[in-house]
Structure 1
Amino acid sequence: MTHSDGVPMPLSLSADGPLAGAVTVPGDKSISHRSLMLGALAVGETIITGLLQGEDVLATAAAMRAMGADIVRGEDGRWHVHGVGVGGLLQPLVALDMGNSGTSTRLLMGLVASHPITATFIGDASLSRRPMGRVIDPLGQMGANITASPGGRLPLMMTGACPAVPLRYVLPVASAQVKSAVLLAGLNTPGDTVVVEPVPTRDHSERMLAGFGAHLTVEAAPEGRIITVRGEAQLRPQTLTVPGDPSSAAFPMVAALVVPGSDIRISNVGLNPTRAGLIDVLRAMGADITLHDLRDVGGEPVADLHVRHAPLTGIEVPPEMVPSMVDEFPILFVAAAFAQGRTIMRGLEELRVKESDRIAAMASGLSAIGVMTQELADGMIITGTGGEAIAGGATVPAHLDHRIAMSLAIAGLHARAPVIVDDARPIATSFPGFVAMMERLGARRQGPAAVH
């Protein structure tokens, strides 16, 4: 059963006093997806510690099993992946159910594109509304045969090309998922597959491909980052530790900044520079965030965060920051709601085609609970309270979107009347322990139980 089935589960959080304590957040979702996929393409056993066990990542694991990989979770929590080798994916006997995961869908399409198999991709109602055309185009150029539903959406059937045609592809939009799909397709494509990235995006795929032994180069050029992967690769199994997801850490971090008197620590947070834009933006607004014990875990920079309540001031967020924090804008909107003055955020067109239209969803949700918002075609302007509690007192829709649900729940922590999120079940896609973590920090759940 996916989170979109069954009876909605409302959620309302409040804070009777400061948040305090030390918590960890789930493993990074982007790295978790890629570790399963690349482990399944290596020959031998890959061992993964700290894998996120949300619904999205479990959908990736199920899909790789359906294509021949042996993937099991040990009693100690470590995951063991016995791969089939590049070129060794098997014909799946069932449709690949991606649930709510756009990342799983787009990256797995890249894998299938250069293997001689046919796969059908299906998903829940939210995922089935999301366009796949930006991946269909380059993979079609490489030779894959793709039949999609109207608008380039799921359900979708793909037959891979073998051999696929190597491609030099200039990304028309900043998208780590499109870049990764093309690079993954290139693993089983003769010759060199090249992606030109005019605007840098998260680089987990490049780091992990190199770590698994792919012949990959990255060079800077006037046109952008040029990433080249040599095909017919032989990947080596790895022992990996997945750092904490910075996108998940964003929720307790902003909660501590807006609830007066709060003082918390968040351990083992990944700080890949292509993902850490939110911390820079919050600091520019006056946030008190200190990094401790900076270290390297599995090729990724990691630190512990010490976050204390601080008065925030509205700023104009530089558009060039967007790729490094695109998933964090819903919770940044919440921080802006409590800042002094206006926060102006533009260049966010990508948010229109996420699990929901995140600009429209957050603008309507925040307006309903008393926040002054101005929705723009490519962003939002928010006039904050200067640290005062917002009005609250409304039920707001999550739109089947985990980040909308968590962001609006955090907004309710400093509200004069309850903020009720209509359905918290989507949170399980990325952060199954969200409510329990917030309760450990001192938040109080009101009303029916939602996500444990």
Structure 2
Amino acid sequence: MIASLPHGIAIGPRGALRGTLALPGDKSISHRALMFAGLAIGHSRIHGLLEGEDVLATAAAMRALGARVECDAGGVWHVDGVGVGGLLQPERALDMGNSGTSTRLLMGLLASHRVTATFIGDPSLSARPMGRVIDPLSRMGADITASPGGRLPLMLRGALPAVPIEYRLPVASAQVKSAVLLAGLNTPGITRIVEPVPTRDHSERMLAGFGAHLTVDESMDGRIISIHGEAELTPQSITVPGDPSSAAFWLVAASIVPGSEITIANACMNPTRTGLITALRMMGADIAETNRRDMGGEQVADLVVRHAPLKAIEVPPELAPNMIDEYPVLFVAAAMADGVTVARGAEELRVKESDRIAVMAAALRACGVLIAEHPDGLSITGSGGDPIAGGATIASKLDHRIAMSMAVAGLSARAPVTIDDARPVATSYPGFFATLDALAPSLD
């Protein structure tokens, strides 16, 4: 559907959202499943992999590094890994497209292998700084030559042997943590990461599942994650749960559109990913969990969401690491709430696919919402549940979450909201607009 919408799409009110939806596979888990399976010796199977452009960039990179990565007719992905230390020299540059996760994690993976690789990406990715990954990987011995500002294109020469380090994360970042863990897999000795603020722990869970010798200890300084190098990973059969970052759009859409009631099946409920649900419940959202269970080592539930009037809150800054990708759509919920919502402590949004603070501020202002911009967030004066004005054309800035968040805003606007370029949605949620059509058919 995205390929047929190169010149934009207008989303206006459609009435209540109703029905049950199946989420795409979690993007963070999908990336890691491909990488860790590629480092195992033997055959792994992955069910429910997200087949968005970002994850497909990881699949292509793992093929270029020597792993066999294929998808069968039934949608099951098969990976024959080369083993830790067995990655091959890629014949050409690794094209990461728009995927910051692919870039940072693969940089970590290659930092302790005797390969030289050039990383390239699209204009959006090439504008994103990689310094926070370059620093620890350089300490481990990798030789990294980046473009000005620590950006792509960059060339990485791995170190063999690399040097184990103890690294305290200067910012809460699951990508930096995971990059160092991946580098530590092929590094003699023990690599340690001190994490003052907990972030997504998919890497730790999955590495342990693949057989890595990994421990997590609590200390006065935070979580200490230790990985023993020169690991041997065992192939696995993995089922990827539904992506909570994709569920976010429907959580907000059903909350703000009167009469809505939807069920979101198989949503990952990992405690490091539920910040948005916590924030929305603080605002008065009606979100119920049913059928809690384990899936592939992760907690999963079905979520039943009903429309409810929302009230403004001061979003606890400590929620930021657990909902950093969900802030754009939280800003949309705040635009519909009663009162002034203050969301601070999210400066990480400045260095995502776009400057999500500035871009969402401009987009919501264009739709008639009163906004105050801060260095680390926004203050948003809500409509009290009334539709916002809408009627604007929004620049998505090649950012999938901006495009989808403002599509949700259009569902509760007096005039349609036009997204200038819907194609970035394919990076993480190719079926987004088809799902919208199923839950709330267009009134045209």
TM-score (norm 2): 0.99
Distance in structure 1 (CA, Å) of the matches to 2:102 and 2:443? 32
Q: Cα–Cα, structure 1 residues 152 and 198, in superposed 2: closer, same or farther, change >3 Å?
A: same
CA contact (8 A) 2:10 2:416 kept: yes
Q: What are the equivalent positions in structure 2 for 1:245-394 lying under 5 Å apart?
A: 245-394=243-392
Select which of 231, 239, 242 maps to 1:241.
239
Q: Cα–Cα, structure 1 residues 259 and 199, in superposed 2: closer, same or farther, change >3 Å?
A: same
State the aligned residue count. Answer: 444
Residues 1:114 and 2:117 are matched in the alignment:
no
CA contact (8 A) 1:15 1:442 kept: no
Q: Which stretches in structure 2 are left out of the alignment for 5+ residues?
A: none
Q: What are the equivalent positions in structure 2 for 1:12-91 lying under 5 Å apart?
A: 12-91=10-89
CA contact (8 A) 2:14 2:443 kept: no
User: Corresponding residue for 1:417?
Assistant: 415
Q: Which amino acid aligns with 2:320?
A: V
Q: Cα–Cα, structure 1 residues 128 and 83, in superposed 2: closer, same or farther, change >3 Å?
A: same
1:445 CA drift (Å): 8.1
Q: Cα–Cα, structure 1 residues 375 and 277, in superposed 2: closer, same or farther, change >3 Å?
A: same
Which string of whole-angstrom CA distances, capped at 9 and with x for unpartnered residues, describes residues 181-231 of structure 1?
Answer: 000000000000000000100000000000000000000000000000000
Q: Which amino acid aligns with 2:251?
A: M
1:315 CA drift (Å): 0.2
Distance in structure 2 (CA, Å) of the matches to 1:303 and 1:342? 31
SS of alignment partner, residue 123 of structure 2: coil
1:5 CA drift (Å): 11
CA contact (8 A) 1:14 1:443 kept: no
Select which of 230, 233, 246 maps to 1:232.
230
Distance in structure 1 (CA, Å) of the matches to 2:332 and 2:182? 36
Q: Which amino acid aligns with 2:75?
A: G
Q: Which amino acid aligns with 1:106?
A: R
Q: What are the equivalent positions in structure 2 for 1:130-279 lying under 5 Å apart?
A: 130-279=128-277
Q: Which amino acid aligns with 1:61?
A: A
Distance in structure 1 (CA, Å) of the matches to 2:226 and 2:15? 52
Q: Cα–Cα, structure 1 residues 381 and 269, in superposed 2: closer, same or farther, change >3 Å?
A: same
Q: Which amino acid aligns with 1:81?
A: V
Q: Which runs of 4+ in 1 moved over 4 A?
A: 3-7
Which string of whole-angstrom CA distances, capped at 9 and with x for unpartnered residues, describes residues 96-147 of structure 1?
Answer: 0000000000000000000000000000000000000000000000000000
Residues 1:105 and 2:117 are matched in the alignment:
no
Distance in structure 2 (CA, Å) of the matches to 1:131 and 1:289? 36
**Percent identity of equivalent pairs:** 68
Select which of 113, 121, 126 maps to 2:124.
126
CA contact (8 A) 2:5 2:422 kept: no
Distance in structure 2 (CA, Å) of the matches to 1:24 and 1:366? 29
Which string of whole-angstrom CA distances, capped at 9 and with x for unpartnered residues, describes residues 220-270 of structure 1?
Answer: 000000000000000000000000000000011111011111011110000
SS of alignment partner, residue 88 of structure 2: coil
Distance in structure 2 (CA, Å) of the matches to 1:82 and 1:29? 21
CA RMSD of aligned residues (A): 1.4
1:372 CA drift (Å): 1.1
Residues 1:396 and 2:394 are matched in the alignment:
yes
SS of alignment partner, residue 243 of structure 1: coil
Distance in structure 1 (CA, Å) of the matches to 2:443 and 2:302? 26
1:12 CA drift (Å): 1.7
Q: Which amino acid aligns with 2:425?
A: I
Distance in structure 2 (CA, Å) of the matches to 1:33 and 1:394? 35
Which string of whole-angstrom CA distances, capped at 9 and with x for unpartnered residues, describes residues 47-100 of structure 1?
Answer: 000000000000000000000000000111000000000000000001000000
Distance in structure 1 (CA, Å) of the matches to 2:5 and 2:319? 38
1:4 CA drift (Å): 12
Distance in structure 1 (CA, Å) of the matches to 2:441 and 2:12? 6
CA contact (8 A) 2:249 2:404 kept: yes
Q: Cα–Cα, structure 1 residues 59 and 192, in superposed 2: closer, same or farther, change >3 Å?
A: same
CA contact (8 A) 1:278 1:328 kept: yes
Q: Which amino acid aligns with 1:292?
A: T
CA contact (8 A) 1:349 1:377 kept: yes
1:6 CA drift (Å): 11
Between 1:9-18 and 1:167-176, the stretch displaced more is 9-18
Which string of whole-angstrom CA distances, capped at 9 and with x for unpartnered residues, describes residues 126-185 of structure 1?
Answer: 000000000000000000000000000000000000000001000000000000000000
Q: Which amino acid aligns with 1:37?
A: M
Distance in structure 2 (CA, Å) of the matches to 1:390 and 1:380? 17
Distance in structure 1 (CA, Å) of the matches to 2:198 and 2:15? 41
SS of alignment partner, residue 409 of structure 1: helix
CA contact (8 A) 1:413 1:443 kept: no
User: Corresponding residue for 1:442?
Assistant: 440
User: Corresponding residue for 1:10?
Assistant: 8
Distance in structure 2 (CA, Å) of the matches to 1:8 and 1:325? 29
TM-score (norm 1): 0.97
SS of alignment partner, residue 71 of structure 1: strand
SS of alignment partner, residue 411 of structure 2: helix
Q: Cα–Cα, structure 1 residues 141 and 424, in superposed 2: closer, same or farther, change >3 Å?
A: same
1:443 CA drift (Å): 4.2
Distance in structure 1 (CA, Å) of the matches to 2:273 and 2:80? 29
